[in-house]
Amino acid sequence: MACYQLISPFAALGVTLEVGRIECEKSNARALVRAYTNLPGYEPWLMHDTGFNLTSTPARKSLAKYLGGRLNLFEIRGIDWESIIEKVCGISLGFMRDGPDVATLGTIPRGQRQRYLLNPLVLHADRTLIFGDSGTAKSTIALAVGMAYKTGLPLAGMTPTETGNVLVCDWETDGETAQARLDSLVRGAELTQVHLDGPDADCDDPNCSYPHIFFLRCYFPLVEMADAIARLVVERGIGLVIVDSLTFAAAGSAKDEDTVIPMFNAMRRWKCSVLIVDHVTVEKDGREQSKPYGSRFKRNAARLMWHVRAVPAESAHELSVGLFSEKGNFSGRMPDVGLRLSYYRCGLPTAPAEEADEIRIVEDDPRSAPEQRKNLSHSAQILLCLREARTSLTKDDIAGRTGIKPDIVKARLNELKKVKQVVALDAEGTQSARRWVLASHRDEDEA
């Protein structure tokens, strides 16, 4: 059990001890310990990494003796290594024994919680999952969310509720590719084109409008990198971590809950907003299911989930993307979000998207394209059909307009009737002649 990382900087003494990956077995607690100093003349020469038994007195003595031989802290600061090691072991074991602080319900400050980072797409200080097939621009959309959070500028009409630093943890692509994608988004958003002409290692230009996003190319499973990422979150003041993609970040099969649950527990420890990009479940016949690839615990553990589906728009250089809410822990299903991505190269429309150096993203009606409609649930298609008709329809009318089989239309209408979304006008008539309207439309007529 790699449970947490404890960093104890003794600033006045100029030494730091880090304890990580604590594992308990029976009455032994083993951990990785790193000791280092920033004392002039010793830094960076004293840096010691070791596996350490936190519960062994001889181990403490021998580590103190070893470190004392390399840096005589008693001579410089009047304190011995043994005291420091005792303290760090005590804090570590205390944490293991007592656990973290317990909250008292009723005394937690109320009304302080920011629900969204980007309403309604991304939750604040929680885990949002977007999943879709390749070619749905889901990574580009995630990066655009990062850009909005970094700059405070709206993304397709959605304004971030705060700004902050962003870290992309990428298991699929490299920094060069991600930067090219971000460059394209910067051009598309018409941000002042600072840094687009050449590299700038450490930007401290106050007038810079480039959304400098941190990028971590990941080679090891998320659970193994979680401590390092937690450290970056604190050190770099990260408010949003983007994980791309969850399936590739798994330490085993993403179909296995023993793999998936520890990943979500690890992400919770980052204590910031996390936007997770993932792949979709595709059945043998090639049909997409409305769930991320693998274990159902992905669905259980994400607090908000979007299924990303894309269709080419009318023009070849455009992509119409619908994000369909599959789960919202706060308010049930959310309204669908539509985005239209347009791709340009040297200012001219271009297809395919890979060749673009400019990507513009605007708001779109997720239901405008006929192909997108097929992506809606049958109930949603029926409701949309009735809304547009603005008159009563029989089940056969609806079947004709939507292409859904009459039997299925009938079953869905009865379900929708139970939840008072639709009304049968002549409930006494025969099933096939029965005419249906939206409950809201009938109210309008009566008013």
Binding positions for Zn ion, rule: CB under 5 A:
203, 208, 210
45: left (phi over 0), alpha (psi -120 to 50) or beta: alpha
CB of residue 194 to Zn ion, shortest distance in Å: 5
CB of residue 437 to Zn ion, shortest distance in Å: 56
What number of other Cβ atoms are within 10 A of residue 429's Cβ?
12
CB of residue 196 to Zn ion, shortest distance in Å: 10
| Burial label, 254 (beta-carbon count in 10 A; 0-12, 13-18, 19+) | buried
Half-sphere exposure of residue 40, counting CA atoms within 13 Å on the CB side?
A: 0
Query: 327: closest CA among 300, 308, 362?
Result: 300
CB of residue 269 to Zn ion, shortest distance in Å: 30
Query: 413: closest CA among 401, 402, 400, 398?
Result: 398
Between CA 335 and CA 415 the distance in angstroms is 20
Length of the chain: 447
163: left (phi over 0), alpha (psi -120 to 50) or beta: beta
- Is the CB of 30 or the CB of 212 nearer to Zn ion? 212
Q: Where are the alpha helices (DSSP H) in 390-428?
A: 395-402, 406-418
SS3 content of the chain, % helix, strand, coil (to 5): 35, 30, 40
- Is the CB of 196 or the CB of 425 nearer to Zn ion? 196
CB of residue 183 to Zn ion, shortest distance in Å: 12
- Is the CB of 203 or the CB of 433 nearer to Zn ion? 203
CB of residue 182 to Zn ion, shortest distance in Å: 12
Between CA 328 and CA 412 the distance in angstroms is 22
CB of residue 212 to Zn ion, shortest distance in Å: 6
